[in-house]
Structure 1
Protein backbone atom coordinates (compact mmCIF):
# COMPACT_ATOMS: atom_id res chain seq x y z
CA UNK A 1 0.00 0.00 0.00
CA UNK A 2 2.88 2.37 0.75
CA UNK A 3 4.28 1.99 -2.81
CA UNK A 4 1.00 2.99 -4.44
CA UNK A 5 0.53 5.96 -2.10
CA UNK A 6 4.04 7.22 -2.81
CA UNK A 7 3.49 6.85 -6.57
CA UNK A 8 0.22 8.82 -6.63
CA UNK A 9 1.07 11.60 -4.16
CA UNK A 10 3.56 13.50 -6.41
CA UNK A 11 0.94 13.67 -9.17
CA UNK A 12 -1.59 15.20 -6.80
CA UNK A 13 1.04 17.63 -5.52
CA UNK A 14 1.73 18.79 -9.11
CA UNK A 15 -1.99 19.55 -9.55
CA UNK A 16 -1.95 21.44 -6.26
CA UNK A 17 1.13 23.37 -7.41
CA UNK A 18 -0.70 24.51 -10.55
CA UNK A 19 -3.68 25.66 -8.47
CA UNK A 20 -1.46 27.59 -6.03
CA UNK A 21 0.59 29.11 -8.86
CA UNK A 22 -2.59 30.39 -10.54
CA UNK A 23 -3.55 32.20 -7.34
CA UNK A 24 -0.06 33.68 -6.81
CA UNK A 25 2.44 34.04 -9.68
CA UNK A 26 0.95 32.38 -12.79
CA UNK A 27 -0.78 34.42 -15.52
CA UNK A 28 -3.95 32.50 -16.36
CA UNK A 29 -3.81 33.88 -19.92
CA UNK A 30 -0.83 31.56 -20.50
CA UNK A 31 -2.93 28.45 -19.83
CA UNK A 32 -4.24 27.95 -23.41
CA UNK A 33 -0.68 28.07 -24.75
CA UNK A 34 0.54 25.50 -22.23
CA UNK A 35 -2.39 23.24 -23.07
CA UNK A 36 -1.50 23.48 -26.76
CA UNK A 37 2.09 22.55 -25.90
CA UNK A 38 0.88 19.44 -24.08
CA UNK A 39 -1.60 18.41 -26.78
CA UNK A 40 0.50 19.07 -29.89
CA UNK A 41 4.07 18.44 -28.69
CA UNK A 42 4.69 16.82 -25.32
CA UNK A 43 2.07 14.04 -25.33
CA UNK A 44 2.73 13.08 -29.00
CA UNK A 45 6.44 12.78 -28.19
CA UNK A 46 5.65 10.57 -25.20
CA UNK A 47 3.37 8.28 -27.24
CA UNK A 48 5.72 8.13 -30.22
CA UNK A 49 8.56 6.98 -27.98
CA UNK A 50 6.33 4.37 -26.31
CA UNK A 51 5.05 2.99 -29.62
CA UNK A 52 8.36 3.05 -31.51
CA UNK A 53 10.30 1.23 -28.80
CA UNK A 54 7.81 -1.63 -28.37
CA UNK A 55 7.54 -4.83 -30.39
CA UNK A 56 4.18 -4.97 -32.17
CA UNK A 57 3.95 -8.74 -31.63
CA UNK A 58 4.20 -8.27 -27.86
CA UNK A 59 1.72 -5.40 -27.87
CA UNK A 60 -1.11 -7.34 -29.50
CA UNK A 61 -3.09 -9.63 -27.20
CA UNK A 62 -6.46 -9.96 -28.91
CA UNK A 63 -8.51 -11.53 -26.08
CA UNK A 64 -7.15 -9.15 -23.44
CA UNK A 65 -7.68 -6.07 -25.61
CA UNK A 66 -11.19 -7.32 -26.41
CA UNK A 67 -11.90 -7.56 -22.67
CA UNK A 68 -10.59 -4.03 -22.20
CA UNK A 69 -12.82 -2.62 -24.95
CA UNK A 70 -15.90 -4.52 -23.76
CA UNK A 71 -15.30 -3.13 -20.27
CA UNK A 72 -15.05 0.37 -21.71
CA UNK A 73 -18.25 -0.10 -23.75
CA UNK A 74 -20.21 -1.41 -20.76
CA UNK A 75 -19.00 1.41 -18.53
CA UNK A 76 -19.79 4.01 -21.19
CA UNK A 77 -23.33 2.67 -21.55
CA UNK A 78 -23.81 2.73 -17.77
CA UNK A 79 -22.67 6.37 -17.64
CA UNK A 80 -24.88 7.52 -20.53
CA UNK A 81 -27.93 5.64 -19.26
CA UNK A 82 -27.55 6.97 -15.71
CA UNK A 83 -26.89 10.50 -17.01
CA UNK A 84 -30.09 10.48 -19.04
CA UNK A 85 -32.39 8.67 -16.62
CA UNK A 86 -31.14 9.78 -13.21
CA UNK A 87 -29.60 13.18 -13.94
CA UNK A 88 -31.67 14.28 -16.94
CA UNK A 89 -28.62 15.09 -19.09
CA UNK A 90 -29.64 15.16 -22.76
CA UNK A 91 -26.97 17.25 -24.50
CA UNK A 92 -25.19 14.84 -26.86
CA UNK A 93 -21.76 16.47 -26.64
CA UNK A 94 -21.90 16.52 -22.85
CA UNK A 95 -22.91 12.85 -22.81
CA UNK A 96 -19.79 12.07 -24.85
CA UNK A 97 -17.63 13.92 -22.31
CA UNK A 98 -19.40 12.21 -19.42
CA UNK A 99 -18.69 8.81 -20.97
CA UNK A 100 -15.06 9.85 -21.57
CA UNK A 101 -14.71 10.91 -17.92
CA UNK A 102 -16.04 7.53 -16.80
CA UNK A 103 -13.84 5.41 -19.06
CA UNK A 104 -10.60 7.26 -19.84
CA UNK A 105 -8.06 6.73 -17.09
CA UNK A 106 -4.71 8.30 -16.31
CA UNK A 107 -3.02 5.45 -18.20
CA UNK A 108 0.32 7.05 -19.01
CA UNK A 109 0.86 9.58 -16.23
CA UNK A 110 0.06 7.25 -13.35
CA UNK A 111 -0.13 3.84 -15.00
CA UNK A 112 3.50 3.44 -16.03
CA UNK A 113 5.05 4.02 -12.57
CA UNK A 114 2.35 1.99 -10.81
CA UNK A 115 2.31 -1.11 -13.03
CA UNK A 116 6.09 -1.24 -13.25
CA UNK A 117 6.43 -0.81 -9.49
CA UNK A 118 4.15 -3.79 -8.83
CA UNK A 119 4.62 -6.17 -11.76
CA UNK A 120 8.03 -5.10 -13.13
CA UNK A 121 9.07 -5.32 -16.78
CA UNK A 122 6.63 -8.15 -17.52
CA UNK A 123 3.83 -5.57 -17.40
CA UNK A 124 5.46 -3.43 -20.12
CA UNK A 125 3.57 -4.85 -23.12
CA UNK A 126 0.16 -4.71 -21.44
CA UNK A 127 0.76 -1.22 -20.09
CA UNK A 128 1.89 0.26 -23.41
CA UNK A 129 -0.93 -1.49 -25.31
CA UNK A 130 -3.62 -0.10 -23.02
CA UNK A 131 -2.05 3.37 -23.14
CA UNK A 132 -2.04 3.34 -26.94
CA UNK A 133 -5.52 1.82 -27.24
CA UNK A 134 -6.93 4.28 -24.73
CA UNK A 135 -5.44 7.32 -26.41
CA UNK A 136 -6.35 6.27 -29.95
CA UNK A 137 -9.84 4.88 -29.42
CA UNK A 138 -11.09 6.79 -26.38
CA UNK A 139 -9.56 10.23 -26.90
CA UNK A 140 -9.73 9.96 -30.70
CA UNK A 141 -13.18 8.35 -30.56
CA UNK A 142 -14.57 11.08 -28.30
CA UNK A 143 -13.34 13.73 -30.72
CA UNK A 144 -14.80 11.79 -33.64
CA UNK A 145 -18.20 11.66 -31.94
CA UNK A 146 -18.18 15.38 -31.11
CA UNK A 147 -17.15 16.26 -34.66
CA UNK A 148 -19.95 14.00 -35.95
CA UNK A 149 -22.51 15.72 -33.71
CA UNK A 150 -21.41 19.14 -34.94
CA UNK A 151 -21.44 18.08 -38.58
CA UNK A 152 -24.73 19.22 -40.08
CA UNK A 153 -24.45 17.35 -43.38
CA UNK A 154 -24.38 13.61 -43.94
CA UNK A 155 -22.62 11.63 -46.62
CA UNK A 156 -19.20 10.42 -47.67
CA UNK A 157 -17.51 13.83 -47.95
CA UNK A 158 -18.78 15.09 -44.58
CA UNK A 159 -17.54 11.84 -42.97
CA UNK A 160 -14.11 12.36 -44.52
CA UNK A 161 -14.14 15.86 -43.11
CA UNK A 162 -14.98 14.49 -39.65
CA UNK A 163 -12.19 11.91 -39.84
CA UNK A 164 -9.79 14.59 -41.01
CA UNK A 165 -10.50 16.91 -38.07
CA UNK A 166 -10.80 14.25 -35.38
CA UNK A 167 -8.10 11.73 -36.36
CA UNK A 168 -6.03 12.61 -39.40
CA UNK A 169 -5.05 15.95 -37.88
CA UNK A 170 -5.02 14.59 -34.35
CA UNK A 171 -1.42 14.70 -33.03
CA UNK A 172 -2.14 11.89 -30.55
CA UNK A 173 -3.36 9.56 -33.29
CA UNK A 174 -0.64 10.53 -35.78
CA UNK A 175 2.24 10.23 -33.31
CA UNK A 176 1.08 6.77 -32.18
CA UNK A 177 0.64 5.59 -35.76
CA UNK A 178 4.10 6.85 -36.73
CA UNK A 179 5.61 5.17 -33.68
CA UNK A 180 4.04 1.82 -34.58
CA UNK A 181 5.23 2.23 -38.16
CA UNK A 182 8.80 2.84 -36.98
CA UNK A 183 8.57 -0.14 -34.65
CA UNK A 184 7.29 -2.45 -37.37
CA UNK A 185 10.01 -1.42 -39.83
CA UNK A 186 12.74 -1.16 -37.15
CA UNK A 187 13.35 2.47 -38.05
CA UNK A 188 15.57 4.54 -35.80
CA UNK A 189 15.25 8.31 -35.53
CA UNK A 190 18.34 10.46 -36.20
CA UNK A 191 20.20 11.20 -33.01
CA UNK A 192 19.24 14.87 -32.82
CA UNK A 193 15.54 14.11 -33.49
CA UNK A 194 15.46 11.36 -30.86
CA UNK A 195 17.15 13.68 -28.37
CA UNK A 196 14.45 16.27 -29.05
CA UNK A 197 11.71 13.68 -28.49
CA UNK A 198 13.39 12.52 -25.29
CA UNK A 199 13.42 16.13 -24.08
CA UNK A 200 9.76 16.74 -24.93
CA UNK A 201 8.25 13.48 -23.65
CA UNK A 202 8.99 13.91 -19.91
CA UNK A 203 7.31 17.33 -19.99
CA UNK A 204 3.91 15.79 -20.81
CA UNK A 205 3.17 14.57 -17.30
CA UNK A 206 4.09 17.59 -15.15
CA UNK A 207 2.85 20.26 -17.58
CA UNK A 208 -0.51 18.55 -18.18
CA UNK A 209 -1.09 18.14 -14.45
CA UNK A 210 0.11 21.70 -13.75
CA UNK A 211 -2.36 23.03 -16.36
CA UNK A 212 -5.10 20.97 -14.81
CA UNK A 213 -4.42 22.50 -11.41
CA UNK A 214 -4.20 25.99 -12.87
CA UNK A 215 -7.57 25.60 -14.57
CA UNK A 216 -9.28 24.16 -11.50
CA UNK A 217 -12.18 26.17 -10.13
CA UNK A 218 -14.10 25.05 -7.09
CA UNK A 219 -17.06 27.27 -7.94
CA UNK A 220 -20.42 25.59 -8.36
CA UNK A 221 -20.87 23.98 -11.77
CA UNK A 222 -23.86 22.64 -13.63
CA UNK A 223 -23.16 19.08 -12.47
CA UNK A 224 -24.92 18.27 -9.16
CA UNK A 225 -22.96 16.81 -6.27
CA UNK A 226 -24.93 13.59 -6.56
CA UNK A 227 -23.76 13.11 -10.16
CA UNK A 228 -20.22 14.11 -9.27
CA UNK A 229 -20.20 11.42 -6.59
CA UNK A 230 -21.67 8.95 -9.07
CA UNK A 231 -18.92 9.70 -11.63
CA UNK A 232 -16.27 9.09 -8.96
CA UNK A 233 -17.79 5.70 -8.12
CA UNK A 234 -18.01 4.80 -11.82
CA UNK A 235 -14.40 5.65 -12.59
CA UNK A 236 -12.74 4.22 -9.50
CA UNK A 237 -14.94 1.20 -8.77
CA UNK A 238 -17.47 0.27 -11.48
CA UNK A 239 -15.11 0.58 -14.47
CA UNK A 240 -12.36 -1.71 -13.06
CA UNK A 241 -14.99 -4.12 -11.68
CA UNK A 242 -16.69 -4.45 -15.09
CA UNK A 243 -13.29 -4.92 -16.72
CA UNK A 244 -12.45 -7.71 -14.28
CA UNK A 245 -15.81 -9.40 -14.90
CA UNK A 246 -15.26 -9.12 -18.66
CA UNK A 247 -11.91 -10.91 -18.37
CA UNK A 248 -13.65 -13.73 -16.48
CA UNK A 249 -16.57 -13.96 -18.91
CA UNK A 250 -14.29 -14.01 -21.97
CA UNK A 251 -12.10 -16.59 -20.21
CA UNK A 252 -8.90 -14.56 -20.66
CA UNK A 253 -6.40 -16.44 -18.52
CA UNK A 254 -3.31 -14.24 -18.80
CA UNK A 255 -2.80 -13.09 -15.18
CA UNK A 256 -0.38 -10.24 -15.99
CA UNK A 257 -2.59 -8.76 -18.70
CA UNK A 258 -5.66 -9.09 -16.49
CA UNK A 259 -4.07 -7.53 -13.39
CA UNK A 260 -2.40 -4.75 -15.40
CA UNK A 261 -5.56 -3.89 -17.34
CA UNK A 262 -7.78 -3.86 -14.24
CA UNK A 263 -5.28 -1.67 -12.40
CA UNK A 264 -5.06 0.78 -15.31
CA UNK A 265 -8.84 1.06 -15.55
CA UNK A 266 -8.99 1.68 -11.79
CA UNK A 267 -6.93 4.85 -12.18
CA UNK A 268 -8.60 8.28 -11.95
CA UNK A 269 -9.87 10.15 -14.99
CA UNK A 270 -6.92 11.15 -17.17
CA UNK A 271 -5.89 14.77 -17.70
CA UNK A 272 -6.27 14.36 -21.48
CA UNK A 273 -10.05 14.25 -20.96
CA UNK A 274 -9.74 17.81 -19.70
CA UNK A 275 -7.61 18.74 -22.72
CA UNK A 276 -10.41 17.48 -25.00
CA UNK A 277 -13.03 19.37 -22.97
CA UNK A 278 -10.97 22.56 -23.32
CA UNK A 279 -10.49 22.02 -27.05
CA UNK A 280 -14.23 21.76 -27.73
CA UNK A 281 -15.38 24.00 -24.85
CA UNK A 282 -17.74 21.27 -23.61
CA UNK A 283 -18.16 20.14 -19.99
CA UNK A 284 -14.80 21.79 -19.21
CA UNK A 285 -15.25 22.92 -15.58
CA UNK A 286 -17.03 19.69 -14.69
CA UNK A 287 -14.30 17.57 -16.27
CA UNK A 288 -11.65 19.52 -14.38
CA UNK A 289 -13.38 18.74 -11.09
CA UNK A 290 -13.92 15.07 -11.96
CA UNK A 291 -10.24 14.65 -12.87
CA UNK A 292 -8.97 16.30 -9.71
CA UNK A 293 -11.44 14.73 -7.27
CA UNK A 294 -11.00 11.22 -8.70
CA UNK A 295 -7.24 11.75 -8.40
CA UNK A 296 -7.58 12.72 -4.74
CA UNK A 297 -9.93 9.82 -3.90
CA UNK A 298 -7.70 7.42 -5.87
CA UNK A 299 -5.06 7.83 -3.16
CA UNK A 300 -7.24 5.35 -1.25
CA UNK A 301 -9.08 3.41 -3.98
CA UNK A 302 -6.07 2.61 -6.17
CA UNK A 303 -4.11 1.58 -3.10
CA UNK A 304 -6.87 -0.93 -2.30
CA UNK A 305 -7.02 -2.23 -5.90
CA UNK A 306 -3.24 -2.61 -6.05
CA UNK A 307 -3.14 -4.48 -2.75
CA UNK A 308 -5.91 -6.83 -3.92
CA UNK A 309 -4.38 -7.45 -7.37
CA UNK A 310 -1.02 -8.34 -5.85
Structure 2
Protein backbone atom coordinates (compact mmCIF):
# COMPACT_ATOMS: atom_id res chain seq x y z
CA UNK A 1 0.00 0.00 0.00
CA UNK A 2 2.88 2.36 0.78
CA UNK A 3 4.44 1.54 -2.60
CA UNK A 4 1.13 2.11 -4.38
CA UNK A 5 0.79 5.52 -2.75
CA UNK A 6 4.33 6.45 -3.79
CA UNK A 7 3.78 5.26 -7.38
CA UNK A 8 0.41 7.01 -7.57
CA UNK A 9 1.97 10.31 -6.51
CA UNK A 10 4.45 10.04 -9.37
CA UNK A 11 1.80 9.06 -11.95
CA UNK A 12 -1.91 9.80 -11.46
CA UNK A 13 -2.43 11.10 -7.91
CA UNK A 14 -2.87 14.81 -7.27
CA UNK A 15 -1.03 15.52 -4.02
CA UNK A 16 -3.47 18.35 -3.30
CA UNK A 17 -5.90 15.59 -2.34
CA UNK A 18 -3.55 14.28 0.37
CA UNK A 19 -4.77 16.52 3.22
CA UNK A 20 -8.37 15.49 2.49
CA UNK A 21 -7.52 11.78 2.57
CA UNK A 22 -5.61 12.25 5.83
CA UNK A 23 -8.62 14.00 7.32
CA UNK A 24 -10.77 11.03 6.30
CA UNK A 25 -8.39 8.71 8.16
CA UNK A 26 -8.15 10.95 11.20
CA UNK A 27 -11.82 11.94 11.59
CA UNK A 28 -13.65 8.86 10.28
CA UNK A 29 -11.74 5.63 9.62
CA UNK A 30 -9.48 5.44 12.71
CA UNK A 31 -12.27 6.54 15.13
CA UNK A 32 -14.52 3.82 13.69
CA UNK A 33 -11.74 1.27 14.17
CA UNK A 34 -11.15 2.29 17.79
CA UNK A 35 -14.84 2.52 18.63
CA UNK A 36 -15.41 -1.01 17.39
CA UNK A 37 -12.39 -2.30 19.31
CA UNK A 38 -13.33 -0.65 22.61
CA UNK A 39 -17.06 -1.34 22.45
CA UNK A 40 -16.71 -5.07 21.86
CA UNK A 41 -14.45 -5.84 24.84
CA UNK A 42 -15.46 -5.89 28.50
CA UNK A 43 -13.94 -3.26 30.80
CA UNK A 44 -12.57 -5.90 33.17
CA UNK A 45 -10.48 -7.45 30.38
CA UNK A 46 -9.13 -4.07 29.32
CA UNK A 47 -8.03 -2.75 32.71
CA UNK A 48 -4.87 -4.38 34.06
CA UNK A 49 -3.48 -1.42 35.98
CA UNK A 50 -0.03 -2.89 36.91
CA UNK A 51 0.60 -4.04 33.33
CA UNK A 52 -0.59 -0.75 31.83
CA UNK A 53 1.63 1.13 34.31
CA UNK A 54 4.61 -0.98 33.22
CA UNK A 55 3.81 -0.35 29.56
CA UNK A 56 3.55 3.41 30.11
CA UNK A 57 6.78 3.36 32.15
CA UNK A 58 8.55 1.93 29.11
CA UNK A 59 7.05 4.72 27.02
CA UNK A 60 8.24 7.41 29.45
CA UNK A 61 11.78 6.00 29.68
CA UNK A 62 12.05 5.77 25.89
CA UNK A 63 10.56 9.23 25.40
CA UNK A 64 13.02 10.78 27.85
CA UNK A 65 15.92 9.10 26.07
CA UNK A 66 14.62 10.37 22.72
CA UNK A 67 14.48 13.91 24.12
CA UNK A 68 17.97 13.81 25.66
CA UNK A 69 19.67 12.41 22.55
CA UNK A 70 17.79 14.72 20.17
CA UNK A 71 18.54 17.77 22.30
CA UNK A 72 22.14 17.18 23.30
CA UNK A 73 23.55 14.89 20.61
CA UNK A 74 21.72 16.08 17.50
CA UNK A 75 21.34 19.64 18.83
CA UNK A 76 17.63 20.04 18.11
CA UNK A 77 16.23 23.05 19.97
CA UNK A 78 12.72 23.54 18.55
CA UNK A 79 10.11 22.28 20.98
CA UNK A 80 7.67 21.03 18.33
CA UNK A 81 10.44 19.07 16.62
CA UNK A 82 11.40 17.47 19.95
CA UNK A 83 7.79 16.44 20.60
CA UNK A 84 7.53 14.80 17.18
CA UNK A 85 10.84 12.99 17.64
CA UNK A 86 9.56 11.65 20.94
CA UNK A 87 6.30 10.52 19.32
CA UNK A 88 8.22 8.75 16.55
CA UNK A 89 10.27 6.93 19.17
CA UNK A 90 7.37 5.61 21.25
CA UNK A 91 4.26 5.35 19.06
CA UNK A 92 3.99 1.93 17.43
CA UNK A 93 1.98 0.64 14.52
CA UNK A 94 -0.45 -0.83 17.07
CA UNK A 95 -3.65 -1.23 15.10
CA UNK A 96 -2.25 -1.91 11.63
CA UNK A 97 0.39 -4.53 12.58
CA UNK A 98 -0.20 -5.19 16.28
CA UNK A 99 -3.54 -6.98 16.14
CA UNK A 100 -2.56 -9.62 13.53
CA UNK A 101 0.87 -10.11 15.15
CA UNK A 102 -0.28 -10.67 18.73
CA UNK A 103 -3.23 -12.79 17.63
CA UNK A 104 -0.91 -14.97 15.53
CA UNK A 105 1.54 -15.45 18.40
CA UNK A 106 -0.78 -15.63 21.41
CA UNK A 107 -4.25 -16.22 20.02
CA UNK A 108 -7.40 -14.79 21.55
CA UNK A 109 -5.82 -14.67 25.02
CA UNK A 110 -4.04 -11.50 23.90
CA UNK A 111 -7.17 -9.72 22.71
CA UNK A 112 -7.81 -7.76 25.92
CA UNK A 113 -4.16 -6.75 26.34
CA UNK A 114 -3.83 -5.78 22.68
CA UNK A 115 -6.95 -3.62 22.59
CA UNK A 116 -6.11 -2.01 25.93
CA UNK A 117 -2.58 -1.07 24.83
CA UNK A 118 -3.85 0.22 21.48
CA UNK A 119 -6.38 2.44 23.27
CA UNK A 120 -3.80 3.65 25.79
CA UNK A 121 -1.33 4.36 23.01
CA UNK A 122 -3.80 6.37 20.98
CA UNK A 123 -5.18 8.34 23.94
CA UNK A 124 -1.98 9.07 25.84
CA UNK A 125 0.59 9.15 23.05
CA UNK A 126 -1.33 10.66 20.13
CA UNK A 127 -3.55 12.77 22.41
CA UNK A 128 -0.61 13.71 24.64
CA UNK A 129 1.56 14.72 21.70
CA UNK A 130 -1.23 16.92 20.34
CA UNK A 131 -1.72 18.47 23.78
CA UNK A 132 1.99 19.30 23.96
CA UNK A 133 1.94 20.78 20.46
CA UNK A 134 -1.13 22.85 21.28
CA UNK A 135 0.54 24.00 24.51
CA UNK A 136 3.67 25.08 22.65
CA UNK A 137 1.59 27.09 20.19
CA UNK A 138 -0.53 28.69 22.91
CA UNK A 139 0.72 32.20 23.62
CA UNK A 140 -1.24 32.97 26.80
CA UNK A 141 -1.21 31.33 30.23
CA UNK A 142 -4.04 30.72 32.68
CA UNK A 143 -7.20 28.68 33.11
CA UNK A 144 -8.87 29.82 29.89
CA UNK A 145 -5.89 28.98 27.64
CA UNK A 146 -5.57 25.60 29.43
CA UNK A 147 -9.23 24.82 28.71
CA UNK A 148 -8.68 25.82 25.09
CA UNK A 149 -5.74 23.42 24.89
CA UNK A 150 -7.80 20.57 26.36
CA UNK A 151 -10.62 21.41 23.99
CA UNK A 152 -8.45 21.27 20.87
CA UNK A 153 -6.25 18.32 21.86
CA UNK A 154 -8.78 16.03 23.57
CA UNK A 155 -12.40 17.19 23.66
CA UNK A 156 -12.46 17.70 19.89
CA UNK A 157 -10.06 14.86 19.22
CA UNK A 158 -11.93 12.14 17.29
CA UNK A 159 -9.58 9.45 18.57
CA UNK A 160 -10.28 10.38 22.20
CA UNK A 161 -14.02 10.81 21.63
CA UNK A 162 -14.45 7.52 19.77
CA UNK A 163 -12.55 5.62 22.47
CA UNK A 164 -14.59 7.13 25.31
CA UNK A 165 -17.83 6.40 23.46
CA UNK A 166 -16.75 2.82 22.81
CA UNK A 167 -15.88 2.25 26.48
CA UNK A 168 -19.22 3.76 27.49
CA UNK A 169 -21.06 1.41 25.16
CA UNK A 170 -19.10 -1.54 26.53
CA UNK A 171 -19.60 -0.61 30.19
CA UNK A 172 -23.35 -0.13 29.83
CA UNK A 173 -24.02 -2.94 27.34
CA UNK A 174 -25.63 -0.48 24.93
CA UNK A 175 -26.92 -2.04 21.73
CA UNK A 176 -25.70 -0.30 18.59
CA UNK A 177 -28.38 0.12 15.89
CA UNK A 178 -27.66 -2.18 12.97
CA UNK A 179 -27.47 0.70 10.48
CA UNK A 180 -24.83 2.49 12.59
CA UNK A 181 -22.91 -0.76 13.14
CA UNK A 182 -22.89 -1.40 9.38
CA UNK A 183 -21.44 2.05 8.67
CA UNK A 184 -18.75 1.58 11.33
CA UNK A 185 -17.90 -1.86 9.97
CA UNK A 186 -17.41 -0.35 6.51
CA UNK A 187 -15.34 2.60 7.75
CA UNK A 188 -13.02 0.76 10.15
CA UNK A 189 -11.20 -1.43 7.58
CA UNK A 190 -10.44 1.67 5.49
CA UNK A 191 -8.13 3.05 8.19
CA UNK A 192 -5.25 0.72 7.33
CA UNK A 193 -5.05 0.96 3.52
CA UNK A 194 -5.88 4.67 3.24
CA UNK A 195 -3.40 5.68 5.96
CA UNK A 196 -0.63 3.62 4.35
CA UNK A 197 -1.53 4.91 0.87
CA UNK A 198 -1.31 8.50 2.14
CA UNK A 199 2.01 7.69 3.77
CA UNK A 200 3.37 6.46 0.46
CA UNK A 201 1.98 9.46 -1.40
CA UNK A 202 3.78 11.82 0.98
CA UNK A 203 7.01 9.82 1.06
CA UNK A 204 10.16 11.68 0.13
CA UNK A 205 13.09 9.35 -0.57
CA UNK A 206 15.35 12.30 -1.27
CA UNK A 207 17.49 13.74 1.50
CA UNK A 208 15.52 15.69 4.13
CA UNK A 209 16.39 17.82 7.12
CA UNK A 210 16.98 14.72 9.25
CA UNK A 211 20.52 13.37 9.11
CA UNK A 212 21.18 9.75 8.20
CA UNK A 213 22.77 9.22 11.60
CA UNK A 214 19.67 10.50 13.35
CA UNK A 215 17.40 8.45 11.09
CA UNK A 216 19.37 5.35 12.07
CA UNK A 217 19.17 6.33 15.73
CA UNK A 218 15.39 6.81 15.59
CA UNK A 219 14.95 3.38 13.98
CA UNK A 220 17.22 1.77 16.61
CA UNK A 221 15.33 3.58 19.38
CA UNK A 222 11.93 2.42 18.16
CA UNK A 223 12.72 -1.17 17.23
CA UNK A 224 15.25 -2.11 19.92
CA UNK A 225 15.40 0.37 22.80
CA UNK A 226 11.64 0.84 23.23
CA UNK A 227 10.78 -2.88 23.60
CA UNK A 228 13.82 -3.34 25.86
CA UNK A 229 12.62 -0.51 28.12
CA UNK A 230 9.14 -2.07 28.21
CA UNK A 231 10.57 -5.45 29.21
CA UNK A 232 12.70 -3.87 31.93
CA UNK A 233 9.70 -1.92 33.25
CA UNK A 234 7.69 -5.14 33.64
CA UNK A 235 10.59 -6.73 35.52
CA UNK A 236 11.21 -3.74 37.80
CA UNK A 237 7.51 -3.41 38.68
CA UNK A 238 7.15 -7.14 39.26
CA UNK A 239 4.34 -7.66 36.73
CA UNK A 240 4.38 -11.41 36.05
CA UNK A 241 1.44 -11.73 33.67
CA UNK A 242 3.14 -13.49 30.75
CA UNK A 243 0.43 -12.66 28.19
CA UNK A 244 0.55 -8.95 28.97
CA UNK A 245 4.36 -8.99 29.05
CA UNK A 246 4.76 -10.61 25.64
CA UNK A 247 1.96 -8.50 24.14
CA UNK A 248 3.40 -5.23 25.47
CA UNK A 249 6.96 -6.02 24.35
CA UNK A 250 5.85 -7.12 20.87
CA UNK A 251 3.68 -4.04 20.42
CA UNK A 252 6.55 -1.83 21.60
CA UNK A 253 8.86 -3.55 19.10
CA UNK A 254 6.67 -2.58 16.15
CA UNK A 255 7.75 0.22 13.76
CA UNK A 256 6.54 3.77 14.13
CA UNK A 257 2.81 3.93 13.41
CA UNK A 258 1.42 5.78 10.40
CA UNK A 259 -0.82 7.81 12.73
CA UNK A 260 2.31 9.71 13.82
CA UNK A 261 2.56 10.90 10.24
CA UNK A 262 -1.09 11.98 10.33
CA UNK A 263 -0.27 14.14 13.38
CA UNK A 264 2.82 15.54 11.63
CA UNK A 265 0.67 16.54 8.66
CA UNK A 266 -2.00 18.01 10.90
CA UNK A 267 0.50 20.30 12.63
CA UNK A 268 2.78 20.75 9.61
CA UNK A 269 5.92 19.83 11.55
CA UNK A 270 8.52 17.07 11.04
CA UNK A 271 6.27 15.65 8.31
CA UNK A 272 8.76 14.44 5.69
CA UNK A 273 11.11 13.12 8.35
CA UNK A 274 8.28 11.22 10.03
CA UNK A 275 7.29 9.59 6.75
CA UNK A 276 10.86 8.34 6.32
CA UNK A 277 11.05 7.04 9.90
CA UNK A 278 7.74 5.19 9.45
CA UNK A 279 8.75 3.61 6.15
CA UNK A 280 12.31 2.61 7.00
CA UNK A 281 11.45 1.39 10.50
CA UNK A 282 8.73 -0.75 8.89
CA UNK A 283 11.25 -2.30 6.49
CA UNK A 284 13.82 -3.02 9.22
CA UNK A 285 11.11 -4.37 11.54
CA UNK A 286 10.65 -7.37 9.25
CA UNK A 287 13.89 -8.64 10.78
CA UNK A 288 13.82 -7.08 14.25
CA UNK A 289 10.27 -8.13 15.15
CA UNK A 290 11.08 -11.69 14.06
CA UNK A 291 14.07 -11.68 16.42
CA UNK A 292 11.95 -10.35 19.29
CA UNK A 293 9.33 -13.03 18.67
CA UNK A 294 12.01 -15.73 18.71
CA UNK A 295 13.52 -14.38 21.92
CA UNK A 296 10.17 -14.07 23.70
CA UNK A 297 8.75 -17.30 22.43
SS in 2 for 1:115: helix
Shift of 1:188: 1.5
Q: Does 1:228 align with 2:211?
A: no
Q: Distance in 2 between matches of 1:294 and 1:57?
A: 34
Q: Distance in 2 between matches of 1:29 and 1:300?
A: 35
**TM-score w.r.t. length of structure 1:** 0.95
Q: Distance in 2 between matches of 1:98 and 1:226?
A: 14
Q: Distance in 2 between matches of 1:209 and 1:65?
A: 28
**TM-score w.r.t. length of structure 2:** 0.99
Aligned to 1:167: 154
Aligned to 2:93: 106
- Matched positions, count: 297
Shift of 1:117: 0.6
Shift of 1:221: 1.1
Aligned to 2:284: 297
Aligned to 2:249: 262
SS in 2 for 1:143: helix
Aligned to 1:23: 10
> Structure 2 matches for 1:1-310, cutoff 5 A?
14-310=1-297
- Stretch moving more, 155-164 or 23-32: 23-32
Q: Deviations over 1:26-45 (max 9, x none)?
A: 22111111101000000000
Q: Distance in 2 between matches of 1:41 and 1:59?
A: 23
- Stretch moving more, 214-223 or 134-143: 214-223
Q: Deviations over 1:219-242 (max 9, x none)?
A: 211111111100000000000001
Aligned to 1:10: none
| Structure 1: gaps spanning 5 or more residues | 1-13
Q: Deviations over 1:104-130 (max 9, x none)?
A: 000000000000011000000000000
Q: Distance in 2 between matches of 1:194 and 1:82?
A: 46
Shift of 1:22: 1.2
Q: Deviations over 1:77-132 (max 9, x none)?
A: 00000001100001001100000000000000000000001100000000000000
Q: Distance in 1 between matches of 2:109 and 2:12?
A: 43
Shift of 1:17: 1.3
